[in-house]
Amino acid sequence: MTLAGSSATGPADLRPGPPATPSTSVRLGPAAAGRCRRRVHLDADPDAPRAERSAVDDGLKLRLTDGANHRSAVLSRFAAQFVVDGQPAPWDPAGAERPLVVFEPSLRSSTRFGTPDLLLWAGDGYQPLIIRSHRTCDPGAGALTSPIHRPLEPAVDPTRKARAHAADALALAHHYRLLVDLGLASATARGAVVGSGGPGAGDAGVLLWHQLDLPGGSVLADYDRRFADRLAVAGAAAAGRPALALASRIGECRRCSWWPVCSADLLAARDISLVAAGGDVDVLHQAGVRTVDDLARLDPAIAAGLPLTGAAPGTARVRARAWLAGLPLVRKVREVSVRRADLELDVDMESFLEDGAYLWGTYLTGPGVETLGLEPGYRGFVSWNPLPDRDEGRAFAEFWSYLTRLRSLAAANGLTFAAYCYSRSAEERWLRSTPIRYPDVPGMPRVAEISAFCASDQWIDIYQEIRDQFIVPGSMKLKALAPLAGFHWRDPEPGGENSMAWYREAVGTRSVPSDGPVDPVDRAMATRILQYNEDDVLATLALRRWMTDRSTDVPTAAELDADE
């Protein structure tokens, strides 16, 4: 059993890697360089309280399963081309044979370990390839790609531009450095990613190549700095020395299993990162502000003069005071105003990864409903055909027809209309892209029609209204703020990540004809999704009503800031 096409030529002399690291028993994998420093510490600390970590939720399990299935499918495509007699030949890194393709090698050096999905022989050594279950390209030009059936022939692609995925680039740099450590790397510092999704044959049909040592933007240089730092952090943790990384809240915390541990530490310390994020934490540290209490007591003139980017000038102290008072938000203005209308339609969309939006949920209210004899309440426009599928376009076209009919009825009868969402970027992604993907579906609107609606005063983002009229010291998520209006989801585990797992159970993995809708496989799970979506639109409705009717229950920023 041998691999088709091999070379007996050994690797050429290689450029040196980063400076030698002091002897340590710690080895880090391909995710470490891009990972939170505190997470690296906890992963390496033998005494870290692992039992307190959060469990993997259904959404993450789904992503992991989909990723594994995608990886298996791509590897099968490579095996069909490069494997002879059914199985790849055993690969000996120290041997003379150099197969053109090496499948899933387990590699270890003194400081690194990793299993790239493939190694590709470049004539003077190997280049790594990784498989990811996300989009890697967008329509455009300039990406360096090669077809999956000719992986070693990269060329500038006139139809694709590369998407920025820093984690992919760092993972490739890690595997390349690991190959350098082992004397197996090509002198051309390059690696490839096979993604998923995208139009036509999709990203799964091409390799996107990353040049790792471009002058002025070297991924390797960035990786080397990050890796040396993370290795020092992990080494200190493993040896029981003083920690080089302490907890601080960042974006990565949302999906980190260590968050229960770190959040308890942050709350106990009343750490400033609980109300500030990103570079603002460093700015506050330089000003001697370490805790929320420090910021709440800071002189107002000094607080207003801090060069913060995550908070408007002068609001940082108010955020701290609101957090200490247990207030989820504080009014910037005395009178909160949200545009109301005779016909009001709350809208929420459910999508599945990169594959499309399968459900558009609406809830109709307003004094004009009775006037026009319309049916109020929830209405969902859904496709249970596994995505991507043309039936998604049918569901969207029906949703758009309903929305357009309401707008026309209001205009014809001298009434006003408004549609509401929470964080418009999610809805607008699929509002704008669905007509492009399914232009021939009956009733599909033109892109210009969608753009005109999104730019009109009839399309109102409650998330933006809150940003404009309130100071929010904590989470801006709908599920964090809707309880303020007395709203609670019926499902015990509401969340977008979990809803994707429910969707997969509802539709299964069937292949269905694209000539119309089909019924869900799991009706109970489909009902769960529809109820969850209905609660999302009801939450938006409850929150905007609270804003106009009862938001005087919370103080203004001026009142809170003046309260000594």
> 472 and 354 in one domain?
yes
**Dihedrals phi, psi of 457, to nearest 5 degrees:** -80, 0
Answer whether residue 29 is part of any domain: yes
Q: Are 151 and 207 in contact (CB under 8 A)?
A: yes
How far is 35 from 21, CA to CA, in rounded Å? 19
Same-domain pairing of 300 and 347: no
Q: Which positions ≥6 away from 558 have C-beta within 8 Å?
A: none
Phi–psi pair at 403, nearest 5 degrees: -60, -45
CA angle 127, 115, 74 (to 5 degrees): 75
For 53, other C-beta atoms within 10 Å of its C-beta total 15
Q: What's the rounded Cα separation, in Å, for the pair 279 and 287?
A: 13
Same structural domain, 28 and 164: yes
Q: Distance of CA 44 to CAs 48, 231, 237, 266, Å?
A: 8, 10, 6, 20
Are the C-beta atoms of residues 266 and 281 closer than 8 Å to each other? no
Residue 292 lies in a domain: yes
Cβ atoms of 456 and 339 within 8 Å: the answer is no
Distance CA 275, CA 323 (A): 7
pLDDT in single tens digits along all 564 residues of the chain: 333 333 333 333 333 334 434 435 899 999 999 999 999 999 999 999 999 999 877 777 778 888 898 899 999 999 988 887 777 767 888 877 888 999 999 999 999 999 999 999 999 999 999 999 988 998 899 999 999 989 989 999 999 999 999 999 999 999 999 999 999 999 999 999 999 877 655 788 999 999 999 988 899 999 999 999 999 999 999 999 999 999 999 989 988 999 999 999 999 999 999 998 878 999 999 999 999 999 999 988 888 888 988 777 678 889 999 999 999 999 999 999 999 999 999 999 999 888 899 999 999 999 999 999 999 999 999 999 998 899 999 999 999 999 999 999 999 999 999 999 999 999 999 999 999 999 999 999 999 999 999 999 999 999 999 999 999 998 899 999 999 999 999 999 898 888 888 998 899 866 666 567 888 889 999 999 999 999 999 999 999 999 999 999 999 988 887 765
27 with 130, same domain: the answer is yes
Q: Is residue 411 assigned to a domain?
A: yes
316 and 350 in a common domain: no
- Identity (one letter) of the amino acid at 76? S
Are residues 281 and 248 in contact, defined by beta-carbon separation less than 8 angstroms? yes
Domain total of the chain: 3
Same domain, 362 and 444: yes
Q: Please provide residue 243's backbone torsions phi and psi, each rounded to the nearest 5 degrees.
A: -65, 135
The first and second tokens of residue 452, run together, are: 């005109």
**Looking at beta carbons, which pairs linking 465-469 to residues 24 or more positions away fall under 8 Å?**
465/338, 465/544, 465/547, 466/329, 466/543, 466/547, 468/332, 469/331, 469/332, 469/333, 469/336, 469/337, 469/547
Please state, in angstroms and rounded to a whole number, the distance separating the CA atoms of residues 377 and 352. 25
Residue 260 lies in a domain: no
Same domain, residue pair 476 and 427: yes
Q: What is the CATH number of the domain that holds 441?
A: 3.30.420.10
- For residue 470, what are the β-bridge partners? 331
Provide the angle, in degrees to the nearest 10, between the axes of the packed helices 496-507 and 58-82: 60
State the Cα angle at 254 between 250 and 259, rounded to 5°: 85
Q: Is the peptide bond before 388 cis (omega within 30 degrees of 0)?
A: yes
Element (H or E) spanning 139, and its range? strand 137-139
Local structure of 281: helix, strand or coil: helix
**Which range marks the domain in which residue 284 is found?**
270-326
